[in-house]
Amino acid sequence: MNSNRKTAIIVGVLFIMALVLFLIGQAIYEPILGSPDYLDNAYPNRVIVIIGILLEFISALAVILIPVLLFPLLKKHNEVLALGYVSFRLFEAVLLSVAQIFKLSLVNLSQEYLNKGGVDASYFKNIGNSIQSVIYWIDHDGLIYLFVFGIGALILYSALYKSKLIPRWLSIWGLISAVAILIASVLATFDISLVFAMLLVIPIAFQNKLWQFG
């Protein structure tokens, strides 16, 4: 097995791990933090919430490892694109980590709310709404995250197209998907659903599998 193929397999495994851990983590805490009564429920269920968020932190770590592993391969063909890709993926991981920290702060907010005996509920809800608004913009389905993800994907598939490390048709497919994600993230500013943008990530996920076993 040559080094390029070995790297591709590791990257494919990391991509799957990041996706699976994110989905599991979100499924664990979302019913609690996403409910209207999260101030009443987040702290009493803090162990479950923290476990879910920790899984997403590990997912963010995988996001960092992917460009680190790909950098030596991409650098041989275009160092500027390689550095650009690493930079945007690191930025992506930072956004995800910050989002998780804000989610953890909702647990602390719930604790303070319960310690006050539910008094000044509107005050705590206003703080919670502010925290959730930040999460809305930078989490996996947020506008800022999708924009950063789209640029990172655009740089990656531009580098892969130039280097011919994967079949050209896969690179073109990735470029089209990346551009579509960027367009969708911009359209989201006009209240167009981000579900469309998230669906566009599927082709990129499929390409990772093709590259892994190709």
pLDDT digits (tens, 9 = 90+) for 161-202: 888 877 888 888 888 888 888 887 777 666 555 555 555 555
The pTM (predicted TM-score) of the whole model is 0.82
- Residue-wise pLDDT tens digits, 37-65: 999 999 999 999 999 999 999 988 888 89
Q: Which one has a higher pLDDT value, 191 or 11?
A: 11
Angle at 80 between CA 75 and CA 82, to 5 degrees: 45
Residue-level pLDDT at 196: 55
Q: Select from 60, 59, 68, 62 the least CA-distant residue to 87.
A: 68
| pLDDT confidence of residue 209 | 46
Q: What does the alpha-carbon distance between residue 70 and residue 47 come to, in Å, rounded to a whole number? A: 36
Examine the pLDDT at 208 and tell me if it is beyond 60.
no
Q: Rounded to an integer, what distance in angstroms lies between the CA atom of residue 7 and that of residue 44? A: 43
